[in-house]
Amino acid sequence: MVNISSLWQYLALQSPLQSMSGEQFNITKMGLTTYSLPQLPYAYDALEPHISAQIMQLHHSKHHQAYVTNLNKALESHVAAVAANDIASQIALQQAIKFNGGGHINHSLFWKNLAPAGSDETSLSAAKDLVTAIESTWGSFDNFKKTFSAILLSIQGSGWGWLVREGGQQGGLRIVTTKDQDPVVGGDIVIFGVDMWEHAYYLQYLNGKAAYVENIWNVINWKTAGERFLGTSSSDNMPEL
Ligand SMILES: [Fe+2]
């Protein structure tokens, strides 16, 4: 099972880089924890026609797997560097841990906040409290959707767009973006996220990024989003994902 909690805390400590101490990075407690690719909660073709089976298969079994593999390699090297008091190697590994650890966290969240179009999970009625909070924050659900979509399309290069609960379980709703594979840190709770890397849509939508964004709304798992908002999910909310 994915143990994201300590990884998430570890990445949060690196933003900004705070200390070179293994103890403060909690690295000794992490030891040689290895991460594994989580199973998708649906089949590769389950999100068609909005996200093709080809994209889902490559995205999950190749891209996400690569983040997991490279994260484990970097963590193993980092543990060895800490044991050897090799500070230069520890510093050199920070970016690989951040990038691949973030990739693992982000995709693990993303798969769970998607569901087959037309399923009960994609109905807004599965997240009544969240929808009420969205309407209160943005005036209407349509205005939220329009605002979120515009922010997704404004991301330059590779990154993610997220709806978060700012600062913790009592916080207000906010839309944030992260660059590359940076995860959401700092206590914000992820409600749902959208992968805006080209690998998430290019094989199907080519340069039609706006069409991808328009169609992603059909496969947002509002049940998961609503549970993350309320903090009632035992498996999907931060920090356990
Ligand atoms: Fe991705």
List Cβ neighbours of 83 (8 Å cut-off, separation of 6 or more): none
Q: Is there a domain that residue 237 lies in?
A: no
What whole-number distance in Å separates Cα of residue 152 and Cα of residue 163?
Answer: 11
Q: Give the pLDDT mean for 177-188.
A: 96
Q: Is there a domain that residue 100 lies in?
A: yes
Provide the whole-model pTM: 0.88
Interval 73-129: pLDDT, tens: 999 999 999 999 999 999 999 999 999 999 999 999 999 999 999 999 999 999 999
Domain ranges, residue 9: 4-42+51-112
Taking the centre of ligand 1 as the mean of its atom positions, its distance from the CA of residue 65, in whole angstroms, is 11
Q: Is there a domain that residue 224 lies in?
A: yes
The alpha carbon of residue 89 and the mean position of all alpha carbons in its chain are separated, in whole angstroms, by 27
- CATH number of the domain to which 94 belongs: 1.10.287.990
What whole-number distance in Å separates Cα of residue 135 and Cα of residue 132?
Answer: 5
Extract the annotated binding site: 59, 107, 195, 199
Nearest by Cα to 35 from 8, 79, 1: 1
Please compute Rg for the chain using Cα positions: 18
Q: Is there a domain that residue 238 lies in?
A: no
Do 101 and 149 lie in one domain? The reply is no
Do 190 and 223 lie in one domain? The reply is yes
Measure Cα distances from 172 to 16, 33, 99, 133, 192 in Å.
Answer: 24, 34, 28, 8, 14
Taking the centre of ligand 1 as the mean of its atom positions, its distance from the CA of residue 162, in whole angstroms, is 14
Extract the annotated binding site for Mn(2+): 59, 107, 195, 199
Do 79 and 142 lie in one domain? The reply is no
Residue 15 banded pLDDT, cuts 50, 70, 90? very low
